[in-house]
Amino acid sequence: MEKGTLRLKTGLAQMLKGGVIMDVTTPEQAVIAQEAGACAVMALERVPADIRRAGGVARMADPVIVKRIMEAVTIPVMAKVRIGHITEARILEHLGVDYIDESEVLTPADDKYHLNKHDFRVPFVCGARNLGEALRRIAEGAAMIRTKGEPGTGNVVEAVRHIRMVTGQLRHLLSLPEEEVPGYAKELGAPLELLNIVRENGGLPVVNFAAGGISTPADAALMMQLGCDGIFVGSGIFKSADPAAFAKAIVAATTNYNDPAVLAEVSEGLGDAMPGLEISSIAPEQRMQERGW
């Protein structure tokens, strides 16, 4: 019997596909998310919009919050650690969370290195803005990738940019003649071995979700249209006027992303989405997507 294998780690992400993972800060919110059809929840102390507003250093959530949320729901529970924070990751692994997000939403703990995720039995998801970043995270052991987007803004433009970048670079890689692959590996800053795996596989060897700025059912469906395997919604649910209704509508839109009749129906009468932020209004050093490398 083997545990903690790559197949088990990537396998759980495969089971989450076509689903919505929702940020929650209390057991009550976790239950609302589960009732609405979330396939997993992300246990947090604050949603990204509040982290952005609060400023200062954002860290792993208090274990008591994570534990209470784990007790409240039957779906998988994820939680975030700071980039490179080995100890926070060990704590969450000990608590038994089902997935760890090594996340740029929190303040990085290491300015040079991400975690060696091979070293853990618990699987990790990491953000990526482009193929090089995605493959570097996979090389470190990430079993799931997501776009970074710009968290807490309710503005989907950055997530769109990131998924278009990744899929565009994938198309390019798949079309290259053999002799040009090593040069492209150098350009991307990613291991040649992984580029070859992508070419054999016809795509990334792990699931790729959308995250960062998704706030309406139409946003979720858009990201699925653009080739994402599933959706993370951070502030979009519990910063909206009617969280239960938004949650349910975003789940329906993710399943039926190709069906405009369903999308029109579920978008109707939802009330106000979370307030949005124009990206240019955020100073470059305040942009979470710039964290990590």
Using CB under 8 A as the binding rule, whether residue 264 contacts another protein is answered as no
Using CB under 8 A as the binding rule, whether residue 122 contacts another protein is answered as yes
Taking Cα atoms as reference points, which of 214, 252, 217 lies closest to residue 233?
A: 214
33 φ/ψ angles, rounded to the nearest 5 degrees: -60, -45
Looking at residues 228 to 257 of the shown chain, list those that interact with another protein (rule: CB under 8 A). Answer: 251-252, 255-256
User: What tokens does 30 get?
Assistant: 């976790």
- Give the amino acid at 269: G
Taking Cα atoms as reference points, which of 59, 28, 55 lies closest to residue 41?
A: 28
Q: Which stretch binds another protein (CB under 8 A): 49-57, 73-81, 105-113, 280-288?
A: 73-81
Nearest-angstrom CA–CA distance, 120 and 122: 5
Using CB under 8 A as the binding rule, whether residue 121 contacts another protein is answered as yes
Taking Cα atoms as reference points, which of 88, 117, 101, 119 lies closest to residue 16?
A: 101
DSSP state of 22: E
Using CB under 8 A as the binding rule, whether residue 17 contacts another protein is answered as yes
Question: Catalytic annotation on 80?
Answer: yes
Catalytic residue among 80, 117, 148, 239: 80
Looking at residues 123 to 162 of the shown chain, list those that interact with another protein (rule: CB under 8 A). Answer: 123
Residues in a beta bridge with 209: 146
Nearest-angstrom CA–CA distance, 239 and 49: 8
Looking at residues 178 to 237 of the shown chain, list those that interact with another protein (rule: CB under 8 A). Answer: none
Q: Which stretch binds another protein (CB under 8 A): 12-20, 22-30, 216-224, 273-281?
A: 12-20
Q: Pick one of 29, 34, 103, 208: the residue that binds another protein (CB under 8 A).
A: 34
Using CB under 8 A as the binding rule, whether residue 24 contacts another protein is answered as no
Query: Do you know the residue count of the chain?
Result: 293
Q: What is the dihedral of CA 114, 156, 261, 168, to 10 degrees?
A: -60
State the minimum distance, in angstroms, from the CB of residue 210 to another protein. 15
Using CB under 8 A as the binding rule, whether residue 29 contacts another protein is answered as no
State the minimum distance, in angstroms, from the CB of residue 251 to another protein. 7
Nearest-angstrom CA–CA distance, 67 and 77: 10
Using CB under 8 A as the binding rule, whether residue 269 contacts another protein is answered as no
Q: Which residues contact 23 (CB under 8 A, 6 or more apart)?
A: 41, 42, 44, 47, 48, 232, 233, 234, 235, 237, 238
Using CB under 8 A as the binding rule, whether residue 90 contacts another protein is answered as no
DSSP state of 34: H
Q: Pick one of 27, 37, 63, 205: the residue that binds another protein (CB under 8 A).
A: 37
Using CB under 8 A as the binding rule, whether residue 174 contacts another protein is answered as no
The site map against another protein for 91-110 (x = CB under 8 A) is --x--xxxx-----------
By annotation, the residues acting in catalysis are: 80
Q: What is the binding site for another protein (CB under 8 A)?
A: 1-5, 7-8, 11-12, 14-19, 34-40, 74-76, 93, 96-99, 121-123, 251-252, 255-256, 259, 262
